[in-house]
Amino acid sequence: MASSSPFSHLLSSLSSKSPLFSSRPRSYPSPKPPLAPISPLSFHFPSPKLSPVLPLLPQNTLNGLNSLLSSASGSLFLALASLSLSFSLFLGQVDPASAFVVTTPRKLQSDELATVRLFQENTPSVVYITNLAARQDLFTLDVLEVPQGSGSGFVWDKKGHIVTNYHVIRGASDLRVTLADQSTYEARVVGFDQDKDVAVLRIDAPKDKLRPIPVGISADLLVGQKVFAIGNPFGLDHTLTTGVISGLRREISSAATGRPIQDVIQTDAAINPGNSGGPLLDSSGNLIGINTAIYSPSGASSGVGFSIPVDTVGGIVDQLVTFGKVTRPILGIKFAPDQSVEQLGVSGVLVLDAPPNGPAGKAGLLPTKRDSYGRLILGDIITEVNGKKVTSGSDLYRILDQCKVGDKVTVEVLRGDHKEKINVVLEPKPDES
């Protein structure tokens, strides 16, 4: 008789209790077909399902497997999502920093919209002017063109005329004009007026690139109304500054001749070096002046800028375009500084020189001279012109600006200890070289 071993008893016990060791055949459900491939760009993942044989495992084991599969599918989802986003950024050439930024449309106030529209509509009319001067190299003796200054200007008409300040182009051997689209053209000088600091250039540019600036009027301006200045301060092209008209009918002196410029507009809009020649616009975008000068001890904007009124500019530009010069009447004299006359204790304009072929010389005005002993003999002192009192050179220029070539004016002079009245026929100013 065979003895029973402990293993035999264990096998018989398992065979009677466990279906895995049952001698009866057991049927299992057929396995489901495998999952379809998943596109990495679709971001759609079916929920994981366990095989039918898994319920045979203990419940805690099933829970562990479910957690494991859930975390695995989550990690797979994040990995595929990151890969898909990187792939789309690569194809679309999108800035990665902006891919996650959601921007909302910017809301502007009505006055801001008006300012933006004014700048966009008038910027194509403003140009950048480069003043080139010929310089000779000390070592090679080669002649080079080097920039000696820059300024602003604006398109006057479709013929290519550009208006700017005379001091912007003064001393230039060559001039270049850069339009708003950054195209550059060689410019030639049509004409200039040193007394009023106005110059006209011309470029050969296609008409579709030239947008003339709308011209307004300056006679009805009021202190306090808004103004806008567009220019190229310090070489920064197309810069907009805003302000108000802070004064009217100011008077400044021409940088070239010292002759006074009347009815100048004063504004607190920032005008810096490089703004010269640029337009001053009203709130409708119309030209009302040319930015020409600032009052500043430091040379930068201090809130006091000056613009030549467009009513003055318009007549000058028309003459320069038509004749190439400005016809302005003169007396034909050279006079002493106002301070010298004040030291003499008299009021008026002291005649230093009156060329014999000039209007004053022909009429008989006497210049200042020295006698045979070297003593100074004062010439005539002009005290009135056409009944208007003259106390300084500015007064004389102001009166002459109201006259025309060929007019006969009555000049009252102080000669020695008595006064005389002399008729002078005004002649045109000779051409500047």
Q: 310 and 218 in contact (C-beta within 8 Å)?
A: yes
Q: 187 and 129 in contact (C-beta within 8 Å)?
A: yes
Q: Which of 150, 167, 195, 380 is catalytic?
A: 167
Q: 380 and 361 in contact (C-beta within 8 Å)?
A: no
Q: Is 418 a catalytic residue?
A: no
Beta-carbon contacts of 54 under 8 Å, excluding residues fewer than 6 positions away, are: 62, 65
Residue whose entry in the numeric block shows the structure tokens 């002009």: 382
Beta-carbon contacts of 267 under 8 Å, excluding residues fewer than 6 positions away, are: 227, 229, 243, 244, 245, 246, 280, 305, 306, 307
Amino acid letter for position 3: S
Q: 317 and 309 in contact (C-beta within 8 Å)?
A: no
Q: Is 238 a catalytic residue?
A: no
Q: Which of 195, 197, 282, 380 is catalytic?
A: 197
| Dist CA 422 CA 332 (whole Å) | 14
Tell me which residue of 275, 327, 319 sits closest to 164, measured CA to CA.
Answer: 275
Tell me which residue of 199, 411, 253, 431 sits closest to 328, measured CA to CA.
Answer: 431
User: What size, in residues, is the chain?
Assistant: 433
| Dist CA 215 CA 317 (whole Å) | 12
| Dist CA 360 CA 351 (whole Å) | 10
| Dist CA 393 CA 397 (whole Å) | 6
Q: Which two tokens stand for residue 219?
A: 């006679």
Q: Which of 276, 282, 380, 395 is catalytic?
A: 276
Tell me which residue of 389, 393, 404 sits closest to 254, measured CA to CA.
Answer: 393
Q: Is 167 a catalytic residue?
A: yes
Residue whose entry in the numeric block shows the structure tokens 């009677």: 16
- Other residues' Cβ atoms within 10 Å of the Cβ of residue 352: 16
- Other residues' Cβ atoms within 10 Å of the Cβ of residue 55: 9
Tell me which residue of 324, 117, 319, 371 sits closest to 228, measured CA to CA.
Answer: 117
Which residues have a catalytic role annotated? 167, 197, 276
